[in-house]
C-alpha cells in the first residue's frame, strides 16, 4: 500500500512538472508569435510589449532552454527594432546596450546555440559602429559571426544575417554569392513550411524581402523579377510593412514634365571632384518654389546613366551637432531630413527608392518614412534631374543647411557644398 502511494505521488509530481513545462512552452510560443507579428508590422509598441513578456519568461522559468530561447528572442526583437525607423541615437544606444547583454547571456547558457552567437555578433557590431562600448571577449574566444556559421550555417537566423553580410558591398553591386544565399534560404523555408504546416513567420518575411533587396542592389536591376517577388510576398504576408515599402520601390512610375518655374542658382561644385570619374559628378544645383513644393535641379557633368542616385541632405536647424552624420567622405554635415531618389529608368518611366525620411528613419533605412510623394523630371539634355519635394516634408527654416549629393543608385560619388540659409 505504501509503495503504491509513493508511486502515485511520483506520477503526480511528474504530471505537474510536465504541465509546468507545457505551460512554459506555450507561453514562450505565444510570446514568439507576438514578437514576430509586431516586427513584421513594424509595430514598435508591440515589439516592446513582446520583449517585456519574453524578459519576464526568462526571469521566471527554471528551464534553461526556455530561458535561452526567451532571451534570444528578446535580443532578436531589439535588433529589428533598431531598424524600425523610430529610434533616435540615445534610444538606440540604450536598447543596444541591454540587447548585447541579453545576447551574451544566451551564449553563456548554451555555447552550442548557433543563433545565439549570430545575434550576439550582429548586436555587438551595431553597437561598435554606433560608438557604444561592449564587453571585451576573453582571450582565445572565437569570432562570434564565424563561430555561428561553424555551428549551424543553415539555421534561419544564422543564414539570414550571414546573407546580409555577404551581400553587402559599399563599392557597388551585391555579390552573386549573397544573392544566392537568400534564394537558397527562401527555398529551404518554403520547403519547411510545406512539410510542417507552420505559419509564415519573421525569417520567412525577412528572407523574401532581402531576396528583393539584393536584386535592387545590382548594376542592372530587373524590375519584372522583383515585382513578381514583391507581389508574392504580399500574398503571403499582406501586413508586412517592409514588404509594402518594397512594392512601392519596384512599382513602375512616370517622370513628370519639367516644371514651369523660375530657377535660381543654389549650389555649385567643382568638376571632377567625385570619388570615381566613372560615376555621375554633380556640378551645380538650382532651386525653385512652386506652390506647396520645393524643386531642386541637380546638374551633372556628363549624361546620366540608366541608373543613378540623388540625395538632398537637410539640417533644418542648421545646428552642426544635430542629427545623423552625412556619410560623404570628409564631410562634417549632419541631417534630420533626407530626400532620396535612387532609381533605374527606361524611357519616360522609372522605378526605385524615392522619398523623404528623418534621422531615425535613415538609421533604419526607412527612406519613405515621412513621404513618398516625390516628383521626378529629366532635362532634355539628359544631364539634369529635377526633384519636387513637399514643403511640409522638409520643414525648412531660415537657419537650414543643405547638401546635395549624387552618384549611382548604389553608391554615393559627389556632393555639392552645403549652403547656409537654405530656406
pLDDT for res 17 = 47
User: What percent of the chain shows pLDDT beyond 70?
Assistant: 93
3-state helix, strand, coil in the chain (%, to 5): 50, 20, 30
Please give the Cα distance from 124 to 126 (Å, whole number).
Answer: 5
* Total residue count of the chain as it appears in this document: 423
pTM, two decimal places: 0.90
CATH 2.60.40.1190 fits 264-417, yes or no: yes
DSSP, collapsed to helix, strand or coil, labels residue 200 as coil
Do 138 and 172 touch, CB atoms closer than 8 A?
no
Rounded mean pLDDT of the chain? 91
pLDDT 10s digits, 333-387: 889 999 999 999 999 999 999 999 999 999 899 999 999 999 999 999 999 999 9
**pLDDT score, position 148:** 98
What letter would DSSP give residue 283?
Answer: E
355-376 core/surface letters (b: 16 or more CB in 10 A; e: else)? bbbbbbbbbbebbbbbbeebbb
Orientation of helix 2-41 relative to helix 202-216, angle to 10°: 30
Is the pLDDT confidence value at 330 over 80?
Answer: no
Cell 543563433, located at residue: 115
Sequence-separated (6 or more) residues with CB below 8 Å from residue 375? 256, 293, 387, 388
CA dihedral sign, ordered 189, 243, 99, 61: negative
Q: How far is CA 344 from the centre of its chain?
A: 20
Beta strand pairing status for 412-419 and 324-325?
Answer: unpaired
CA-based radius of gyration for the chain: 25
Phi, psi (degrees; rounded to nearest 5) at 161 = -70, -35
Average pLDDT for residues 133-162, to the nearest whole number? 95
Confidence of residue 421 (pLDDT cuts 50, 70, 90): very low
Residue 309 confidence (pLDDT): 93
- Hey, where are the domains in the chain? 19-250, 264-417
Angle between helices 176-196 and 202-216 (to 10 degrees): 150
pLDDT in tens, 230-254: 999 999 999 999 999 999 999 999 9
Starting at the edge strand that comes first in sequence, how are the strands of the sheet with 401-407 ordered?
A: 253-254, 349-358, 337-346, 307-315, 401-407, 412-419
Residues of the chain above pLDDT 90, percent: 77
Mean pLDDT, range 321-344, rounded to an integer: 87
pLDDT beyond 90 at 423: no
Given this model, what pLDDT does residue 29 score?
95
Number of H helices, E strands in the chain: 13, 13
Q: Region 109-138: what's the mean pLDDT?
A: 94
pLDDT tens by residue, 22-38 = 778 899 999 999 999 99
Residue 166 clears pLDDT 60, i.e. is over it: yes
What residue spans of 153-240 are helical by DSSP H?
156-167, 176-196, 202-216, 223-236
Q: Which of 56, 50, 100, 57 is nearest to 77 (CA)?
A: 50
- Cα-based distances in Å from 98 to 13, 76, 79, 123: 37, 12, 11, 10
Evaluate if residue 16 carries a pLDDT over 80.
no
Mean pLDDT of 132-161: 95
Residue 412's pLDDT is 80
Residue 259, pLDDT above cutoff 90: yes
19-250 placed in CATH 1.25.40.10 = yes
Are 68 and 110 contacting, i.e. CB atoms less than 8 angstroms apart? yes
* Residue 420 or 362, more confident: 362
Residue 73 pLDDT > 50: yes
Amino acid at each position: 500500500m505504501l509503495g503504491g502511494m509513493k508511486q502515485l505521488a511520483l506520477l503526480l509530481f511528474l504530471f505537474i512538472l510536465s504541465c509546468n513545462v507545457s505551460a512554459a512552452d506555450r507561453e514562450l510560443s505565444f510570446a514568439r508569435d507576438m514578437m514576430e507579428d509586431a516586427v513584421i508590422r513594424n509595430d514598435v509598441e508591440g515589439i516592446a510589449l513582446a520583449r517585456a513578456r519574453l524578459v519576464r519568461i526568462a526571469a521566471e522559468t527554471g528551464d534553461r532552454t526556455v530561458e535561452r530561447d526567451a532571451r534570444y528572442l528578446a535580443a532578436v526583437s531589439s535588433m529589428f527594432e533598431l531598424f524600425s525607423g523610430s529610434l533616435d541615437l540615445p534610444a538606440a544606444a540604450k536598447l543596444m546596450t541591454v540587447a548585447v547583454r541579453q545576447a551574451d547571456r544566451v551564449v553563456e547558457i548554451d555555447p552550442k546555440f548557433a543563433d545565439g552567437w549570430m545575434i550576439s555578433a550582429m548586436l555587438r557590431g551595431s553597437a561598435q559602429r554606433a560608438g557604444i562600448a561592449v564587453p571585451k571577449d576573453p582571450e582565445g574566444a572565437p569570432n562570434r559571426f564565424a563561430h555561428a556559421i561553424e555551428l549551424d550555417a543553415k539555421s534561419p537566423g544564422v543564414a539570414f544575417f550571414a546573407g546580409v553580410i555577404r551581400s553587402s558591398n559599399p563599392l557597388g553591386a551585391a555579390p552573386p554569392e549573397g544573392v544566392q544565399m537568400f534564394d537558397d534560404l527562401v527555398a529551404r523555408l518554403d520547403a519547411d513550411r510545406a512539410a510542417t504546416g507552420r505559419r509564415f513567420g519573421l525569417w520567412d518575411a525577412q528572407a523574401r524581402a532581402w531576396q528583393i533587396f539584393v536584386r535592387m542592389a545590382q548594376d542592372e536591376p530587373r524590375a519584372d523579377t522583383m515585382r513578381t517577388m514583391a507581389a508574392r510576398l504580399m500574398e503571403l504576408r499582406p501586413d508586412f510593412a517592409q514588404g509594402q515599402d518594397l512594392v512601392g520601390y519596384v512599382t513602375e512610375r512616370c517622370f513628370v514634365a519639367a516644371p514651369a518655374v523660375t530657377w535660381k542658382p543654389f549650389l555649385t561644385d567643382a568638376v571632377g571632384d567625385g570619388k570615381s570619374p566613372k560615376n555621375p559628378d554633380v556640378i551645380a544645383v538650382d532651386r525653385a518654389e512652386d506652390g506647396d513644393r520645393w524643386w531642386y535641379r541637380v546638374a551633372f557633368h556628363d549624361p546620366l546613366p540608366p541608373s543613378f542616385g540623388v540625395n538632398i541632405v537637410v539640417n533644418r536647424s542648421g545646428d552642426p551637432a544635430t542629427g545623423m552624420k552625412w556619410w560623404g567622405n570628409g564631410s562634417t554635415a549632419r541631417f534630420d531630413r533626407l530626400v532620396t531618389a535612387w532609381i533605374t529608368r527606361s524611357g519616360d518611366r522609372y522605378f526605385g527608392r524615392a522619398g523623404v525620411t528623418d534621422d531615425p528613419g535613415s538609421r533604419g533605412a526607412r527612406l519613405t518614412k515621412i513621404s513618398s510623394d516625390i516628383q521626378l523630371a529629366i532635362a532634355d539634355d539628359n544631364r539634369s534631374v529635377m526633384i519636387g519635394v513637399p514643403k511640409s516634408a522638409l520643414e525648412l527654416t531660415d537657419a537650414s543647411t543643405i547638401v546635395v549629393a549624387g552618384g549611382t543608385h548604389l553608391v554615393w560619388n559627389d556632393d555639392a557644398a552645403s549652403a547656409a540659409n537654405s530656406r
